[in-house]
A and B are shown apart, each in its own frame.
Chain A
Amino acid sequence: MRYIAIRLGLSVVLLIGVTIITFVLTNLVPASPVTAALGERAAGDPKIVAAYKAAQGLDKPLPVQYFVYLGHLLQGNLGTSIGTRNPVTQDLAYAFPATAELAIFAIVIAVVVGLVLALVAALRRNRLSDQLIRAVSVVGISVPTFWLAVAAYFLFFFVLHWVPGSGRLSAIYDAPPRVTGFFTIDALLAGEPDVFADAFAHLVLPGLVLAVYTLGLLVRFARSSILDVLNQDHVRAARAKGLPAHRVITAYLLRGALLPILTIVGLAFGSLLSGAVLTEQVFAWGGIGQYAYRASTSLDLPSIMGVGLIVGLVYITVNFVIDVIYGFVDPRVRVG
Chain B
Amino acid sequence: MNHLPARLAALTATAAAVALIVSGCSAGGGSTQSSSSKTLVVDNTFDLKTSDPARAFELTGSIVDKALYETALTFEGSDVTKPVPQLTTYTMSDDNKTITLTLNGKHVFSSGNPVTIDDIVWSYKRVQGIAGNPSFLLTNLSTGKPFAIEKTSDTTMTITDTAANPALPFILPNPSLGVLDEKTLEQHGGTTDKTDSAEQYLNGTSAGSGPYELSSYNATSKVVFKLNPKYVGTKPAFGRVVLNNVTGPSQKTDVQGNQAQLALNLNSQQVSGLESGSIKVAKFTSSNLGYLWLNQNASVSGGVTNQPDFVKAVRHAIDYKSLQTIAGTGSTQPGGMVPSQFLGSLASDENNTTDSAAAKSDLQSSGYKGQTITLSYPTDATLDGVSFADMAQSVQSNLESAGVKVKLNGLPIATLLDSFRAGKLQAGLMYWGPDFPDPSDYVTFSPGEGLGLRAGWTKDMSPSVTKAKEAAIAAQGDARASAYEAWQKAANADGAFVPLLQAARYQVTNGVSGNVPNAIWTVDLATVE
Contact = CB atoms under 8 A, between A and B. Distances in A.
Contact of B49 (A84, A105, A165): A84
A25 interface: no
A86 interface: yes
Contacts of B246: 165-167, 284
Contacts of A173: 34
Contact of A193 (B20, B24, B33): B24
Interface string A36-68: 111111111101100110010000000000000
Interface stretch (B393-401, B410-418, B509-517): B410-418
A32 B435 CA distance: 24
Contacts of B49: 37, 83-85
A55 B132 CA distance: 11
A198 B249 CA distance: 20
A43 B17 contact: no
Contacts of B413: 36, 298
Nearest to B435: A41
A40 B418 contact: no
A167 B244 contact: yes
Nearest to A205: B11
A31 B144 contact: no
Contacts of A195: 34
Contacts of B221: 167-168, 286
Contacts of B250: 165-167, 284
B294 interface: no
B220 A84 contact: yes
A88 to B, nearest CB: 13
Contacts of A291: 220
Given A84-B219, A194-B29, A45 B11 contact: no
Contacts of A33: 414
A171 B259 contact: yes
Interface string B1-13: 1001101100110
A172 B39 contact: yes
Contacts, number: 190
B34 A41 contact: no
A109 B15 contact: yes
A181 interface: no
Contacts of A171: 39, 41, 222, 242, 244, 254, 259-260
A156 interface: yes
B203 A108 contact: no
A113 interface: yes
A197 B25 contact: yes
B50 A193 contact: no
B34 A194 contact: yes
A45 to B, nearest CB: 6
Given A36-B414, A85-B203, A284-B247, A194 B14 contact: no
Nearest to B441: A41
Contacts of A112: 14-15, 17-18
Given A112-B18, A157-B253, A200-B25, A55 B194 contact: yes
A147 interface: no
B419 A40 contact: no
B26 A193 contact: yes
Nearest to B141: A41
A228 to B, nearest CB: 26
A133 to B, nearest CB: 13
Contacts of B242: 171-172
A55 to B, nearest CB: 7
A94 B18 contact: no
23 contacts: A36-B417, A36-B418, A37-B49, A38-B133, A41-B136, A55-B194, A84-B219, A85-B55, A86-B219, A108-B20, A113-B14, A161-B253, A163-B4, A165-B259, A167-B244, A171-B222, A171-B260, A194-B31, A197-B5, A198-B29, A204-B12, A284-B245, A298-B413
Given A41-B133, A297-B380, 15 more contacts: A30-B415, A31-B415, A31-B419, A51-B131, A112-B18, A158-B253, A162-B4, A163-B8, A167-B245, A174-B34, A174-B224, A194-B29, A200-B8, A204-B12, A297-B414
Interface of B: 1, 4-5, 7-8, 11-12, 14-15, 17-18, 20-22, 24-26, 28-34, 39, 41, 49-50, 55, 57, 131-136, 139, 141, 144, 194, 199, 203, 216, 218-222, 224, 242, 244-247, 249-250, 253-254, 257, 259-260, 380, 412-415, 417-419, 421, 432, 435, 450-451
